[in-house]
Amino acid sequence: MGLLALGTALDWPDAQKRAQQVREWGIKQLLEIWNKAKYKERDAMLWGDEVEYLVVRYSNEAPKVLLSLRQADILKALAADEELATKGGGVPDLQVVKPQGSNPLPVFHPEFGRFMLEATPGKPWGIGFKELLDVESDMKTRRRIAKEHMESEEYPITLTTFPRLGVPGVFTDPYYPPSGPKLRSQFVPDEIANPHIRFPTLAANIRWRRGRKVQVNVPVFHDVNTPNPWKDPTVNYDLHNWPEDDDVRNGAAPDNFIHMDGMVFGMGSCCLQITFQAKNITEGRKMYDQLSPLGPIMLALTAATPIYKGFLADTDVRWNQISRAVDDRTAEELGEKVSTVLDNITKTPSANEHQPLKESRWRIPKSRYASNSTYISTDPRLRPEYFDPNLVIDESIKAQLLEGGMDDLLATHFAHLFIRDPIVIFNEDLEELDLTKADHFENLQSTNWQHMRFKPPPAGSDIGWRVEFRPMEIQITDFENAAFSVFMVLITRAILSFDLNFYIPIVKVDENMETAHARDAVLEKKFYFRKNPFPNRTPRSTVGSNANSPIASRPATPVSPVEDEYALMTVDEVINGSKSEEHDFPGLIPIVESYLDSVNVDVQTRCELSTYLDLIRKRASGELWTAAKWIRHFVASHPTYKRDSVVDDEITKGLVSAVIDIGEREQAGRGWKGLNVPELARLLGQFRGGCGSNGVKRSSDEIN
């Protein structure tokens, strides 16, 4: 989740004093990169995936499954492995030139939680279709290697969150008591975070800047025996270790919400991210815009997060919890606080929105981790009406970028990211500005966790312009993770090849992101989506234009209202196509299929690819379940579940045991048949049979 630098990390009051300097230096570094790389051409179409894992300690005998906090030891063991060192080839985010003909082993990275690991392929994936078929086995290799460097009772698993994180009592190995100076959480110890100074400082300074702890409140799922109103029974109102212990006495833990109070409740979640390298900046900007409306759809399709802190939640995905877990906005930025001397603790949400600001520069509508707020493509189909009318930008930063030669759209994008303060600043980095580096730029860039990230070429490298797709939840199996990766690659190729147009207003993407949180949104909800994705070029207009749009001043040509361009569709309609009175949407899978028809793919490869596409298709239609649905079903049918929303140690142990079982079958290539939990078939599909050498699909029954 970002670069690891070493040095003396400043506490928030000191960091705040240097924030402007970091922003200014960051902008200078960005302009340096921009001027060097803006005409960079013909970069290879590479891509990479990132898989994040939880490390659990599990044995049949032990009554509980625990999170193992041995991340550092496991990484040390991986680093000491000579084979990995000599055959491993990469560092994160495609930062290696593809070694020709070699097949480097995967690379492992730390993540925020001390119980997490991240793994990437040893080299970026290339353009070949056959290579898409290597992704799944590479993911399996990563899991195998990770496991080989763990203790026998430790397992890397790909659940998004650990169901019992933050429950009173023991949930980690080793045990540490909660409530340390950095997180000040009443539920988790500081030792829950990666001990590298960057991570606890990030957590502490977010809290410090905000003026209270983060509030990660997720609605509880009301089952038949769940009290209504429900009060989170794990909240301690009588703690007096830190001033922040007052938060819950001041209303931080409302009824009917599972209350969490530390960065780890968000950043301790696992996701699947895909980074694409574009052939040039224009293509990168186009990918950024066109993939953005797919974010909420893919979030709903990959939903895997129905449990928090030992309770069933009423939402299915991790997104908003991470958003809140790193929300460093002050009360005033949130529009909550009247900053008068007499009344500087009044917190009436939104009531004071129109009060003049006393301490902050802006009211800021979104957290640093949120759906993205800009479109940046030079595509003539980008209409002013699509832009976010609430976009906040730093005008002086925008002016510097324009002055430095950047165009309005991109300058607006970065002037928006740079409204934030840098959270972790190392004293040593402030001595001298090094324009051959990108550290100050990255400081802001990599702590703007939006659902898309536009990545300029790292200073002094061969790498091109890249775009990262960030919303997807990690899936339980490598088969699924490979399927979603392959699908994202193919839809991106189709977008470029057919010049597809998925533009809808950014506010509608925001709304879709909220919609994706609902239980079973994949089947139950509708999302705004563009009706006609094909490239009939719409002239720009200023119909209903908004003043914030960087292209608002383009000449007006009357065209159809933007509202006519999109409609509400189910995920099934978006993925598989629809024929309703109102719209006739072709469907993303049929689009991918016609893209595959238009290129040269051999029968065998095509058959193998369709195994992945089938998973996406069937998940969208409801024939297969999301992990969230399967986990809910697992909990509901467990003998100790009392229909009171409580997910106890025994249920958690059963769930993790099933997940380990699936992983071991997958490693052994044993297929899914006869799994100890029959409903797993609903998650993974019985069809997972593979293709014969003649490219003909075989059913799982034939090969299990």
Interacting residues toward Mg ion by CB under 5 A:
1, 118
Backbone angles phi, psi at 469, to 5 degrees: -100, 115
Amino acid code (one letter) for 341: V
CB of 322 to ligand GLU, least distance (A): 5
Instruction: Give the three-state DSSP class for 578.
Output: coil
CA–CA gap between residue 231 and residue 219 (Å, rounded): 11
Instruction: Specify the residue, 1 or 146, whose C-beta has the smaller distance to Mg ion.
Output: 1
- Kindly state whether residue 1 participates in binding ligand GLU, applying the rule CB under 6 A: yes
- Kindly state whether residue 488 participates in binding ligand GLU, applying the rule CB under 6 A: no
CA 472, 474, 479, 485 torsion-angle sign: positive
CB of 274 to ligand GLU, least distance (A): 12
Among 68, 120, 234, 269, binds ligand GLU (CB under 6 A): 269
CA–CA gap between residue 97 and residue 462 (Å, rounded): 7
- Point out which span in 215-223, 237-245, 263-271, 556-564 binds ligand GLU (CB under 6 A): 263-271
Instruction: Specify the residue, 51 or 415, whose C-beta has the smaller distance to Mg ion.
Output: 51
Residue 269 interacting partner from Mg ion, ligand GLU, none (CB closer than 5 to 8 Å by kind): ligand GLU
| Residue 322 · residue 267 · CB < 8 Å | yes
CA–CA gap between residue 158 and residue 55 (Å, rounded): 9
- Point out which span in 243-251, 266-274, 415-423, 568-576 binds ligand GLU (CB under 6 A): 266-274
CB of 50 to ligand GLU, least distance (A): 6
Backbone angles phi, psi at 277, to 5 degrees: -95, 130
Residue 517 interacting partner from Mg ion, ligand GLU, none (CB closer than 5 to 8 Å by kind): none
CA–CA gap between residue 392 and residue 425 (Å, rounded): 24
CA–CA gap between residue 677 and residue 323 (Å, rounded): 33
Instruction: Specify the residue, 52 or 614, whose C-beta has the smaller distance to ligand GLU.
Output: 52
CB of 6 to Mg ion, least distance (A): 19
Residue 424 interacting partner from Mg ion, ligand GLU, none (CB closer than 5 to 8 Å by kind): none
CB of 292 to Mg ion, least distance (A): 20
Question: Which of 339, 375, 377, 281 lies closest to 35 in space, CA to CA?
Answer: 281
Site for ligand GLU in 43-62 (CB under 6 A): 52
Residue 494 interacting partner from Mg ion, ligand GLU, none (CB closer than 5 to 8 Å by kind): none
Residue 107 interacting partner from ligand GLU, Mg ion, none (CB closer than 5 to 8 Å by kind): none
CB of 178 to ligand GLU, least distance (A): 22
Instruction: Specify the residue, 50 or 283, whose C-beta has the smaller distance to ligand GLU.
Output: 50
CB of 18 to ligand GLU, least distance (A): 24
- Point out which span in 269-277, 329-337, 604-612, 647-655 binds ligand GLU (CB under 6 A): 269-277
Instruction: Specify the residue, 297 or 331, whose C-beta has the smaller distance to ligand GLU.
Output: 297
User: Residue with CB nearest Mg ion?
Assistant: 1
User: Residue with CB nearest ligand GLU?
Assistant: 271
Residue 277 interacting partner from ligand GLU, Mg ion, none (CB closer than 5 to 8 Å by kind): none
Instruction: Specify the residue, 1 or 370, whose C-beta has the smaller distance to ligand GLU.
Output: 1
Backbone angles phi, psi at 437, to 5 degrees: -110, 175
What would the two tokens of residue 4 be? 């690891």
* Binding track, positions 314-353, relative to ligand GLU; x by CB under 6 A: ----x---x-------------------------------
Q: What letter would DSSP give residue 246? A: G
What would the two tokens of residue 628 be? 């969230």
Q: Residue 452 is inside which H or E element, if any?
A: strand 452-455
Residue 271 interacting partner from Mg ion, ligand GLU, none (CB closer than 5 to 8 Å by kind): ligand GLU
CA–CA gap between residue 244 and residue 241 (Å, rounded): 8
Instruction: Specify the residue, 118 or 173, whose C-beta has the smaller distance to Mg ion.
Output: 118
CB of 271 to ligand GLU, least distance (A): 3
CB of 312 to ligand GLU, least distance (A): 20
Amino acid code (one letter) for 376: I
CB of 317 to Mg ion, least distance (A): 17
CB of 319 to ligand GLU, least distance (A): 8
Instruction: Specify the residue, 271 or 397, whose C-beta has the smaller distance to Mg ion.
Output: 271
Residue written as token pair 């940046």: 376
Instruction: Specify the residue, 179 or 481, whose C-beta has the smaller distance to Mg ion.
Output: 481
Beta bridge partners of residue 567, listed in sequence order: 529
CA–CA gap between residue 333 and residue 421 (Å, rounded): 12
Residue 173 interacting partner from ligand GLU, Mg ion, none (CB closer than 5 to 8 Å by kind): none
| Residue 303 · residue 473 · CB < 8 Å | yes
- Kindly state whether residue 448 participates in binding ligand GLU, applying the rule CB under 6 A: no
Backbone angles phi, psi at 220, to 5 degrees: -80, 150
Query: What is the tally of helices (H) and strands (E) in the chain?
Result: 24, 17
Backbone angles phi, psi at 620, to 5 degrees: -70, -35
CB of 182 to ligand GLU, least distance (A): 19
Instruction: Specify the residue, 1 or 33, whose C-beta has the smaller distance to Mg ion.
Output: 1
Instruction: Specify the residue, 474 or 680, whose C-beta has the smaller distance to Mg ion.
Output: 474
Instruction: Specify the residue, 217 or 447, whose C-beta has the smaller distance to ligand GLU.
Output: 447
CB of 369 to ligand GLU, least distance (A): 7
Instruction: Specify the residue, 34 or 288, whose C-beta has the smaller distance to ligand GLU.
Output: 288
- Give 541's contacts (C-beta < 8 A, 6+ positions apart): 383, 384, 385, 556, 557, 558, 559
* Binding track, positions 357-386, relative to ligand GLU; x by CB under 6 A: ------------------------------
Q: What angle do CA 53, 56, 62 make, to 5 degrees?
A: 165
> Where are the extended beta strands (E) located within 86-238?
107-109, 116-120, 154-157, 172-173, 216-219
Q: HSE (CB half, 13 Å, CA atoms) of 547?
A: 1
In 187-280, which residue ranges form alpha helices assigned H by DSSP?
198-210, 264-267
- Point out which span in 264-272, 277-285, 419-427, 571-579 binds ligand GLU (CB under 6 A): 264-272
Instruction: Specify the residue, 52 or 572, whose C-beta has the smaller distance to Mg ion.
Output: 52
Left if phi > 0, otherwise alpha if psi is -120 to 50, otherwise beta: which for 184? left
Provide the CA 165 distance to its chain's centre, in angstroms. Answer: 19
Q: HSE (CB half, 13 Å, CA atoms) of 137?
A: 8
What would the two tokens of residue 694 be? 């003649």
Alpha carbon of 505 to those of 215, 287, 510, 561: distances in Å? 29, 16, 9, 12
CB of 273 to ligand GLU, least distance (A): 6
Instruction: Specify the residue, 118 or 154, whose C-beta has the smaller distance to Mg ion.
Output: 118
Q: Residue 201 is inside which H or E element, if any?
A: helix 198-210
Among 31, 260, 271, 313, binds ligand GLU (CB under 6 A): 271
Instruction: Find the distance separating the first CA and the last CA of the chain, reported in whole Å.
Output: 39
Give the number of residues written for the chain: 704
The residues binding ligand GLU (CB under 6 A) are 1, 52, 267, 269-271, 318, 322, 449
